[in-house]
């Protein structure tokens, strides 16, 4: 039989009631792709032993890899382990090491372990236990005749870690058959997914050992690069070559490699270089400061922020000239320059970053439509300012404006050219 590469199952009534959005399935599938393994089915069932058993049988008969999340908790509703044991004719065995570890955990937080928890130390006979450093429920792997079955808890942080540390290495070890796979993610900002696809399409077309994929994390797009080779060294070398080809083509659009978001990339640069910054926000309404303070230790660089929605506050707090506001309006080059310069002087920082714009839906004029954005950056070398034309949606405009401002900071610190007025070239830009 021609088996599917992988199925992903999630278990829990809360998922079928729509109480939480199930991000575990997309996480599992994205990680499998980095091993060059495609998922062909996602299925969710409730805490219903009959439905679970049927699904476990069907999936393990259909796919070479089955990943299951959920149903390993301590409650009556958590049935995964016992249903797996029944479905595959295994008895349940209590693992003493796991039990002791659980007792020690409860003792360390000063609580008595309830007898319900003890069942989390039960595993189907023959299962390999997968440690869970973040919670009480370990996972397990069962090697069936033509299928590897992995069960993990449903808590995202726990299963993310178990996937990377326990599951991926086990799949990789069995997968190879003399082949190796290496993968990475490139974070891009400034081009839409269809443009990226067009720019890069020949790379995977001309070389069947390379696969490219895309994932959107508004306003960024992530490019996933997967490269196969005869051995790990070859695969790794070819991955580096491919990343270089992509970086050469996309230029400054690539803002980083990996999952680190732009605000963290920028925050780390500020920390490393011991730079300080003040921000003066109008249309972004505090979002730039909020993003810059998500990183622990951000008080070392973000000394001060001002949200000056009113003209009065622009004049009073930032020293913007009333004449400039009158002659050009608050969304103008003159004003954004004075805002950037004003916050830098007032806060006594290396950088002064400013935004003013029309986030929408109100406030537009004939020459300043919704989506108009001015960014200004003051440094010891002077003030730069540029105008951009963004989207129609208020919330997305705020997010996109903040990202453009952060990208100015990144490029400025790295001595790179600032984004020109046609930036960002994204789908939906004209509506």
Of 138 and 261, nearer to a copy of itself (C-beta) is 261
Q: Closest approach of Cβ 180 to a copy of itself, in Å?
A: 21
DSSP string, 51-75: HHHHHHHHHHHHEEEEEEES--SSS
* Alpha carbons 202 and 210: distance in angstroms, whole number: 10
Of 10 and 81, nearer to a copy of itself (C-beta) is 10
Task: Provide the CB-side half-sphere exposure for 355 (13 A, CA).
Answer: 32
Q: Closest approach of Cβ 304 to a copy of itself, in Å?
A: 4
* Alpha carbons 23 and 7: distance in angstroms, whole number: 15
Report the site for a copy of itself in 289-328 (rule: CB under 8 A). 289-290, 292-294, 296-299, 302-310, 312-313, 316-317
Interface segment toward a copy of itself; rule CB under 8 A; list 21-29, 98-106, 119-127, 249-257:
21-29
- Single residue of 1, 2, 17, 380 touching a copy of itself by CB under 8 A: 17
3-state secondary structure of 249: helix
Of 294 and 326, nearer to a copy of itself (C-beta) is 294
Indicate whether 33 belongs to the interface with a copy of itself (CB under 8 A): yes
Of 7 and 140, nearer to a copy of itself (C-beta) is 7
Indicate whether 150 belongs to the interface with a copy of itself (CB under 8 A): no
Q: Closest approach of Cβ 411 to a copy of itself, in Å?
A: 22
Interface segment toward a copy of itself; rule CB under 8 A; list 10-18, 86-94, 179-187, 410-418:
10-18
Indicate whether 287 belongs to the interface with a copy of itself (CB under 8 A): yes
- Single residue of 35, 36, 39, 180 touching a copy of itself by CB under 8 A: 39
Q: Closest approach of Cβ 22 to a copy of itself, in Å?
A: 7
Closest CA to 298 of 273, 260, 274, 267: 267
Report the site for a copy of itself in 97-136 (rule: CB under 8 A). 109
Of 95 and 197, nearer to a copy of itself (C-beta) is 197
Indicate whether 91 belongs to the interface with a copy of itself (CB under 8 A): no
Q: Which residues contact 2 (CB under 8 A, 6 or more apart)?
A: none
Report the site for a copy of itself in 256-285 (rule: CB under 8 A). 279, 281, 284-285
3-state secondary structure of 216: strand
Contact pattern from residue 383 through residue 412 relative to a copy of itself, giving x for each residue in contact according to CB under 8 A and a dash for the rest: -----------xx--x--------------
* Alpha carbons 69 and 152: distance in angstroms, whole number: 5
Contact pattern from residue 44 through residue 83 relative to a copy of itself, giving x for each residue in contact according to CB under 8 A and a dash for the rest: xxx-x--x--------------------------------
Q: Closest approach of Cβ 216 to a copy of itself, in Å?
A: 6
Indicate whether 235 belongs to the interface with a copy of itself (CB under 8 A): no
Terminal CA-CA length for the chain: 48
Closest CA to 247 of 182, 186, 183, 185: 186
Of 73 and 124, nearer to a copy of itself (C-beta) is 73
- 39 burial type by CB count under 10 A (0-12 exposed, 13-18 middle, 19+ buried): buried
Of 279 and 426, nearer to a copy of itself (C-beta) is 279
* Alpha carbons 422 and 334: distance in angstroms, whole number: 20
Length reported for the chain: 431
Of 45 and 265, nearer to a copy of itself (C-beta) is 45
Sign, Cα dihedral of 25, 27, 32, 36: positive
DSSP string, 365-422: BTTB-TTEEEEEEEETTEEEEEEEE--S-HHHHHHHHHHHHHHHHHHHHTTPPPP-TT
Q: How far is CA 275 from the centre of its chain?
A: 26
Of 39 and 123, nearer to a copy of itself (C-beta) is 39
Q: Closest approach of Cβ 35 to a copy of itself, in Å?
A: 13
Of 98 and 284, nearer to a copy of itself (C-beta) is 284
Contacts of 164-169 with C-beta under 8 Å, sequence gap 24+, read 164/31, 166/130, 166/131, 166/139, 167/67, 167/130, 167/139, 167/141, 168/31, 168/34, 168/35
Report the site for a copy of itself in 327-356 (rule: CB under 8 A). 346-347
Report the site for a copy of itself in 192-221 (rule: CB under 8 A). 213-216
Q: Closest approach of Cβ 214 to a copy of itself, in Å?
A: 6
Exposure b/e, 245-258, CB count within 10 A at least 16 = b: ebeeebebbbbbee
Of 164 and 312, nearer to a copy of itself (C-beta) is 312
Contacts of 133-137 with C-beta under 8 Å, sequence gap 24+, read 133/161, 134/158, 134/161, 136/74, 136/102, 136/105, 137/72, 137/73, 137/74
Indicate whether 139 belongs to the interface with a copy of itself (CB under 8 A): no
């Amino acid at each position: 039989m021609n088996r599917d590469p992988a199925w992903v199952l999630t278990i829990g009534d809360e998922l079928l009631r729509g109480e939480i959005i199930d991000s575990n399935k997309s996480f599992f599938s994205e990680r499998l792709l980095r091993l060059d393994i495609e998922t062909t089915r996602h299925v969710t069932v409730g805490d219903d032993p009959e439905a679970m058993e049927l699904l476990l049988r069907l999936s393990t008969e259909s796919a070479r890899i089955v990943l299951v999340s959920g149903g390993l908790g301590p409650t009556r509703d958590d049935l995964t382990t016992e249903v797996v044991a029944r479905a595959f004719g295994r008895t349940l065995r209590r693992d003493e090491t796991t039990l002791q570890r659980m007792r020690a955990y409860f003792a360390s937080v000063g609580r008595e372990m309830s007898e319900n928890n003890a069942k989390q130390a039960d595993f189907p006979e023959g299962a390999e236990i997968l440690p869970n450093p973040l919670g009480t429920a370990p996972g397990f792997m069962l090697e069936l005749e033509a299928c590897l079955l992995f069960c993990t808890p449903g808590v995202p942080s726990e299963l993310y870690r178990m996937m990377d540390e326990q599951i991926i290495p086990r799949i990789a070890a069995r997968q190879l058959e003399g082949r190796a796979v290496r993968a990475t993610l490139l974070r891009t900002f400034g081009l839409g997914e269809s443009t990226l696809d067009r720019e890069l399409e020949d790379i995977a077309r001309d070389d069947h050992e390379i696969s490219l994929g895309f994932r959107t994390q508004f306003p960024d797009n992530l490019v996933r690069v997967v490269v196969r080779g005869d051995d790990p060294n070859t695969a790794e070398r070819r991955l580096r070559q491919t990343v270089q080809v992509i970086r050469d083509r996309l230029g400054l659009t690539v803002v980083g490699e990996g999952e680190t978001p732009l605000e963290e990339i920028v925050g780390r640069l500020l920390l490393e270089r011991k730079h300080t910054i003040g921000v003066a926000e109008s249309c972004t309404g505090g979002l730039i400061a909020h993003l810059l303070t998500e990183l622990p230790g951000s008080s070392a660089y973000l000394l001060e922020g001002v949200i000056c929605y009113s003209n009065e506050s622009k004049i009073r707090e930032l020293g913007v000239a009333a004449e400039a506001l009158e002659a050009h309006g608050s969304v103008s080059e003159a004003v954004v320059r004075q805002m950037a310069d004003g916050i830098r002087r007032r806060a006594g920082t290396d950088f002064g970053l400013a935004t003013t714009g029309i986030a929408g839906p109100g406030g537009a004029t004939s020459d300043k439509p919704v989506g108009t954005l001015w960014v200004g950056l003051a440094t010891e070398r002077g003030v730069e300012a540029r105008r951009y034309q963004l989207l129609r949606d208020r919330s997305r405009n705020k997010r996109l404006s903040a990202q453009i401002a952060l990208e100015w900071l990144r490029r400025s610190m790295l001595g790179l050219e600032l984004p020109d007025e046609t930036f960002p070239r994204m789908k939906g830009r004209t509506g």
